[in-house]
Structure 1
Amino acid sequence: MFKDVLSVSSSPFVGYANADVLFDRSLLATLRYFSESLDVSKQMVLIVGCRRNIDIQISDLGSGDNLTKISQMDNIRPYHDVALDYFIISRRGLPWDKIPDFVVGRVAYDNWLVAKAGI
């Protein structure tokens, strides 16, 4: 999947996120920071994270500007200590030709990718 996206995109980053993850504008600020602070064309940058569960109604989202306020609510709880729900990686990232074909959602594929990135 990552190789396919890299072949048709010129973006300095590619990513994957589970469908139940919502991002606010801070994601763009984070990607800009790395793009301006590092030479992401020559360095691997891997950004990972896990979701925090919160019960909201679709009407709570409004135009999307409410995500930051919602993310600071008191009833937020982490989903799982070791589960990773999104990956954003620079083009120079992982050696995709050497990575096995994983089934997204299976146990520990996400942790394996992070461990491989550290090698």
Structure 2
Amino acid sequence: MLRPFIIPVVFTNETLVAKECARKGFETMHISTAAAGGIPVLKYMYRDAIKKYNSTFYAYSNGDILYTETLIDTLLLMKYSTINLHKPVLIVGQRSNVNNVTEFEGSTFGSITRLAEERGKLFTFWAEDYFITTRSFPWQEIAEVVIGRRAYDNWLVYYARKSKYNVIDATKTILAVHQTTKAGNHEGHGKTNKDFNHHLLVKLYKRVKYNAGITACIEKYTNYDNCVIAVKSRTVSKSCAISF
């Protein structure tokens, strides 16, 4: 339903998954670089997607998140706003948790929206499940963090803020519904190699101020202004200060 504005791509090395994706009309790409027992490295997913597709934005999203037209609307705003897209941009946001989403409930934008309004609960500032960047984002400089394990999300926002990139919290205008199952909302914390990213980052940087990488610490955010999406600025807590 997001086409033609957004091309969904599934990264997988499993033949059966690739065939099922093809039947559903999804593009697939091979996982070229993995670590920690086969977990994909985030920066190389972006690198490979950028090589294959010519786009204004590139995004990674956890596979259990449902989106609506609000994702398209927000990105169109960015494309035609005063935000300099030649400078690295990172757009993130919080998700809304909904238990036991049925196939019918997730079948249309309208039903996803109603579902979030009736049963959704906005999750913590600490959890960031999608990362939308521009082509200019310097992924070649990013540490080799892996997806699905803790710490990489807050570190990435912290790194982008410290680098003075355009970092934007889109929580108020992008509806991201997390299909919560029995695994719960902290699934990555119980996985093998759950601390892989933390150990890697501490080795590289000695100390990481993760709390400066939560959505509440992002100075720019999107919101509705007379039914039109706009980018606004806000004052954040002193605890969000970047350490140099």
TM class, shorter-length:
0.7 to 0.9
Deviation string 1:83-107 (CA, Å, 9 cap, x unpaired) is 11111111112x2111121111222
TM-score by length of 1: 0.86
Root mean square deviation of aligned Cα: 1.6
Q: Which has the larger radius of gyration?
A: 2
Aligned equivalents of 2:149 and 2:98: distance in 1? 23
TM superposition shift of 1:24: 0.3
Deviation string 1:6-44 (CA, Å, 9 cap, x unpaired) is 11111100001001100000100000000011342x122
State whether residues 90 and 132 of structure 2, in contact with CA within 8 Å, keep that contact through their aligned partners in structure 1. yes
Match status 1:6 vs 2:50? yes
* 2:116 pairs with one of 71, 93, 107: 71
Unaligned runs of at least 5 residues, structure 1: none
* 2:143 pairs with one of 89, 100, 106: 100
Identity of aligned residues (%): 34
Relative contact order: is structure 1 or structure 2 higher (C-alpha 8 Å, sep ≥ 6)?
Answer: 1
Aligned equivalents of 2:53 and 2:116: distance in 1? 31
- Which shifted more, 18-27 or 57-66? 57-66
- Equivalent residues, number: 116
State whether residues 69 and 109 of structure 2, in contact with CA within 8 Å, keep that contact through their aligned partners in structure 1. no
Unaligned runs of at least 5 residues, structure 2: 1-44, 164-244
Q: Which has the higher strand share?
A: 2
TM-score by length of 2: 0.45
- Which shifted more, 63-72 or 17-26? 63-72
